[in-house]
Structure 1
């Protein structure tokens, strides 16, 4: 059996897609035999323009052949991302033109990698599995300027319909997506498999706790993307003002709205907010240890009421209190699954201050959450689900 896995992001890149696909390849390797072929086509690290890490053009990971495409430097804007994807798609089609695949697996948050996978599956007469991490049509309607959204939404709506209807199986990372996808595509088979907690965090459970050092500011840490979806420029300046002296907010990452955030911090003359460039995972673990509270925020968009941020799983693996500005399904999930998490409505500064004051600043036992959402176990379920669409494998992977 010949399998193609498409993902724009793959280790060592920094993104939810990368962290999901690396363990999936390991799980597939465990289930495939020497007669099987697993090809991964991805890009060299491109998540942040301010962060890059060397990665081989081609390497073997177990039985998988991984080929990485070099893409032009880009920013986070819509047009830049479109140009980057066109370059990616052109190279993917070239690299895969000499192989007829039996199964195509494509993971996507912005839809087009899923559409590319659907095209290759149709070209090769292959089975198609899609791993969908966001509702792109929903999101662009909220984040794009109105005139651009007026043109883009109908176009991507058609692309989505064409793509999803060709899939033998679609896995979704959030049960909040069910009302959207199951209503629109009643004939499609869906499975819900969340993100999870990576081995780097599970191996260090019990090492994140620290007592606050007297005389030092209480540190709130956010590490991740700084785009319109996070809306940090709409919450952090007001939160920093409200907390005042004795508190420090450290923001690590990059993205399209970082300049707006920097401008707002400067305009208010805030000295208790520090912005840093993205870091690798080893350095990130050290930052988590040094923090007193972990911070998460999504913008106040209707589309985000359906999502389940992967950051919740990462934060939940620590003993740290969590301050989260999220709504909808993510808030319901966090409330029921993660102890010592202060919830507030997105962009609500007063609510954030109240939620912060409600937190227990001591260490929190989250062993039940960690056991339930071990990434390795979820990746195994994901691999089994994908392989089950192949007739010769379904009897082996059916529960």
Structure 2
């Protein structure tokens, strides 16, 4: 089988999309599928000088998405749509095209490429658009954005030969939208086994004084969609706890300004750290904050939830739905709805007072690795592709 994996993000990027894509591609290659990756040039932003592109990876050029404004996103998405189709023309024949989204506009590229190559089309849906836009309150179904994204999504589901997605709630939603007979495969994100093989970085411990706690950490994008103002609300009334925020994003400056104005000396914005640094921070923290901005995002499971528990770090989860089910399975955290600020403060106090023994943390971490290995799920998905679409031409 010769397979084209079309993605917005791949190595050397360390985005959640790139991490998922790399594990899926590795699994496909390991079962004998001839995979060619076609990824956006955004993957190369901030790449180390030592990076060497694998022979099976091709990058299509598009407008660099360094600042995530609406205009830049449109330039990036529409430019990438055209460039990816053009790049695929010189890559030969394929039996299957797998496209992972968002961005949803990449679906239109995949449809065109699959049709020209006479290939089967698999849509890997990490977020169901336009639903996410509605659930976050970004736009309504009747708006131009709603109608545009809805049209693209319906077109993709109509022609797809298979759809895969990352949570049970998303799978249930998608089964109502694809034609009868189109398989919908559950391929959860899970925990990347390579992540928990990291060793603690003593330089990170020293730099951020991680031995001086208790520490509540947040690691990830500091954007409008994370609702981190709630975490600062908690910090303002719990001065005996250190709040360390790692990452960057559109909301970082506003949050820094708020912390400065309110004199929140226990809140520190620590910049970005690599995977080993993230592992170290989670290992030393008393708890980690994992938020979704709205209770309406019931079928979303943040990747960082898997990572926190796999490091034995208790989680304060601001969410409802599938992610709550996962956290309760592990027994290593507490939760409340994102809109329930009083409930989140109570859950925070519960975790700080409760504490977890080294043994309890280790049991939860091992349980996460056994039950939710990303590599295991990826291998099963690769074997499913072979089983449904055969060995190729």
Secondary structure in 1 matching 2:225: coil
Report what 2:275 is aligned to.
281
What are the within-5 Å matches in structure 2 for residues 223-372 of structure 1? 223-233=219-229, 235-244=230-239, 246-300=240-294, 302=296, 304-335=297-328, 337-359=329-351, 360-362=354-356, 363=358, 364=361, 365-366=363-364, 367-372=366-371
- 1:292-343, Cα deviation, whole Å (9 max, x unpaired): 21111110252x11112111111120122111111122212221x2122111
For 1:171 and 1:181, the matched residues in 2 are separated by 9
What are the within-5 Å matches in structure 2 for residues 1-399 of structure 1? 1-32=1-32, 37-46=34-43, 52-54=47-49, 56=51, 58-60=53-55, 65-71=56-62, 72-98=64-90, 99-143=92-136, 145-146=138-139, 150-187=143-180, 188-203=182-197, 216-233=212-229, 235-244=230-239, 246-300=240-294, 302=296, 304-335=297-328, 337-359=329-351, 360-362=354-356, 363=358, 364=361, 365-366=363-364, 367-392=366-391
8 Å CA contact retained: 2:3, 2:97: yes
For 2:43 and 2:168, the matched residues in 1 are separated by 29
With normalisation by structure 2, the TM-score equals: 0.87
8 Å CA contact retained: 1:224, 1:254: yes
1:391–1:28 distance in 2 versus 1, CA, 3 Å: closer
For 1:272 and 1:158, the matched residues in 2 are separated by 47
**How far 1:142 moved relative to its partner?**
4.0
**How far 1:2 moved relative to its partner?**
2.4
1:261–1:301 distance in 2 versus 1, CA, 3 Å: farther
**How far 1:45 moved relative to its partner?**
4.9
Secondary structure in 1 matching 2:100: strand
1:390–1:178 distance in 2 versus 1, CA, 3 Å: closer
**How far 1:161 moved relative to its partner?**
0.5
1:264–1:148 distance in 2 versus 1, CA, 3 Å: farther
1:18–1:251 distance in 2 versus 1, CA, 3 Å: same
1:199–1:12 distance in 2 versus 1, CA, 3 Å: farther
**How far 1:174 moved relative to its partner?**
0.7
8 Å CA contact retained: 1:219, 1:249: yes
Larger mean CA deviation between 384-393 and 172-181 belongs to 384-393
1:301–1:257 distance in 2 versus 1, CA, 3 Å: farther
The Cα RMSD (Å) is 2.8
Query: Gaps spanning 5+ residues in structure 1: where?
Result: 394-399
Query: Gaps spanning 5+ residues in structure 2: where?
Result: none
**How far 1:132 moved relative to its partner?**
0.7
For 2:225 and 2:385, the matched residues in 1 are separated by 29
With normalisation by structure 1, the TM-score equals: 0.86
**How far 1:145 moved relative to its partner?**
4.9
1:206–1:186 distance in 2 versus 1, CA, 3 Å: farther
Secondary structure in 1 matching 2:226: coil
**How far 1:281 moved relative to its partner?**
1.0
**How far 1:391 moved relative to its partner?**
3.7
For 2:387 and 2:146, the matched residues in 1 are separated by 33
8 Å CA contact retained: 1:176, 1:329: yes
1:110–1:228 distance in 2 versus 1, CA, 3 Å: farther
8 Å CA contact retained: 1:225, 1:255: yes
For 2:69 and 2:98, the matched residues in 1 are separated by 27
**How far 1:149 moved relative to its partner?**
7.4
1:169–1:85 distance in 2 versus 1, CA, 3 Å: same
**How far 1:103 moved relative to its partner?**
0.8
Report what 1:396 is aligned to.
none
**How far 1:282 moved relative to its partner?**
2.0
8 Å CA contact retained: 2:211, 2:284: no
- 1:1-31, Cα deviation, whole Å (9 max, x unpaired): 3211011111231222111111112111111
8 Å CA contact retained: 2:4, 2:37: yes
